[in-house]
Amino acid sequence: MVASAGAAVQVAPNRFYLTMALTCALVAILGFVPTYWAPLAAGTLAEAPIVHLHAVLFTAWSAFFVAQAALVAAGRVARHRALGLVGISLATGMLLVGLATAIHSTGVQIAMGFADRARGFMIVPVTTILFFACAVSFAIANRTRPEIHKRLMLVASIAILMAAVGRIVRFALGRAGMLDGPPPIEFSILPALITDLLIVAAMIHDRRSRGRVHPAYWIGGGAWLAIQLGRIPFSKTPQWQAAVDWLLAF
């Protein structure tokens, strides 16, 4: 009886992380249906190869994250760890392609006549992919400490959902003619806060299941919130404009 109860306590958190991984995957896919998947299926999407590579890698991450969570939930921890190198390779590719896509998209938007907004908003994808890479790196560094590892991986995976949520919000507003071209940097706070609700949900689960919120959520989630808020004023500084010039030179 005691052994059975202990097993139940261990399985429940694992199922929670599988549920969160599935939720992240669903948001990532649905968020890009109006502006990417639907036009792609209809044959009306005209995008550069880097954009398609970006879609492949980020979609692959969603599948990888679900698969890894499912392995742990099934008790196949050794297999989960064996696939770690796949995650490292995938995250590295996402970092490089994510930055390249941000540079490409900003260049296109500038050519369309939206230079000011495009240069300012570029800070959103750049800081998002950099945070993702840092969070995944810290998670990998703590791979022998699963309580930290799984929480940082979840925070990282939630952070990159902001693009999907932002497309849903912007598509709805765009249909009413409220937004044309790249959005102003202030727009980023709405999808950011909506996405953050998933981190809040994870923190609530911690509080209910453990009696307290794990520090990984406070540190990882807090750092991500600080970036979301701080990048708005920083995007208007000469330092960021210099950084944009440097990135666009690639």
What pLDDT shows up at residue 1?
Answer: 37
Does the CA dihedral 38-41-46-48 come out positive or negative? Answer: positive
What pLDDT shows up at residue 250?
Answer: 86
More confident residue, 164 or 4: 164
**Mean pLDDT (whole number) for 145-162:** 97
Half-sphere exposure at residue 97, Cβ-oriented, CA atoms within 13 angstroms: 18
- Per-residue pLDDT of 24-35, as tens digits, reads 999 999 999 988
Residues 6+ apart with CB under 8 A from 63: 25
| DSSP percent split of the chain into helix, strand, coil, nearest 5 | 85, 0, 15
- Taking 90 as the threshold, does the pLDDT of residue 246 lie above it? yes
C-alpha 38/C-alpha 17 separation (Å) is 29
Looking at 32-76, list the stretches that DSSP marks H as alpha helix, in order from N- to C-terminal side.
38-42, 49-73
Lookup: tokens for 239? 């330092």
What is the pTM for the complete model shown?
A: 0.91
**Mean pLDDT (whole number) for 40-44:** 92
**Mean pLDDT (whole number) for 37-45:** 91
C-alpha 31/C-alpha 23 separation (Å) is 12
Determine whether 247 is exposed, middle or buried from the number of CB atoms within 10 Å of its CB (0-12, 13-18, 19+). Answer: middle
- Per-residue pLDDT of 166-223, as tens digits, reads 988 877 776 544 456 788 899 999 999 999 999 999 999 999 999 999 999 999 999 9
- 100-133: burial string, b at 16+ Cβ within 10 Å, e else: bbbbbbbeebbeeebeebbbbbbbbbbbbbebbb
What pLDDT shows up at residue 168?
Answer: 84
Lookup: tokens for 228? 């979301």
Short-list 65, 46, 231, CA closest to 135: 65
